């Protein structure tokens, strides 16, 4: 019984590790995808992006930065926003995938057998 318990725990830990690795891989890949898609819209031809960068540049210049430093900080801040939004979209997508997986597995609960009544309980 001791060997079976240790093998069961080993398989449970390996399964959990594989599941966590798969979810993390999905999250990172989806994050990269969303960052690429969102980043395509942040360019000098987009008036909203240009307005955001100009507004942030003005904010940093009002804090005493020179124009070159304020421009770099504005682009960095916009890049941070793109990364943040990409990560949030990725988390939403992974959560949706896990919810759908859970809903797909829910009917399998009805296929499980009930435990036998009055069965002997073994103590270690």
pLDDT per position as a tens digit, 4-27 = 888 889 999 999 999 999 999 999
Q: Average pLDDT over the chain, rounded to whole?
A: 91
Q: What is the mean pLDDT of residues 73-98?
A: 96
Rg (CA), the chain: 26
Grade residue 114 by pLDDT with cuts at 50, 70 and 90.
confident
């Amino acid at each position: 019984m001791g060997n079976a318990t240790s093998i069961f725990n080993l398989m449970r830990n390996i399964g959990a590790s594989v599941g966590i690795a798969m979810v993390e891989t999905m999250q990172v890949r989806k994050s990269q995808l969303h960052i690429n898609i969102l980043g395509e819209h942040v360019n000098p031809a987009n008036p909203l992006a240009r307005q955001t960068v100009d507004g942030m540049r003005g904010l940093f210049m009002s804090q005493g930065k020179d124009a070159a430093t304020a421009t770099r900080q504005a682009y960095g801040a916009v890049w941070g926003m793109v990364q943040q939004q990409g990560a949030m979209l990725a988390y939403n997508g992974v959560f949706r995938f896990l919810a759908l997986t859970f809903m797909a597995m829910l009917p399998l609960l009805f296929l499980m057998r009930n435990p036998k009544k009055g069965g002997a309980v073994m103590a270690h």
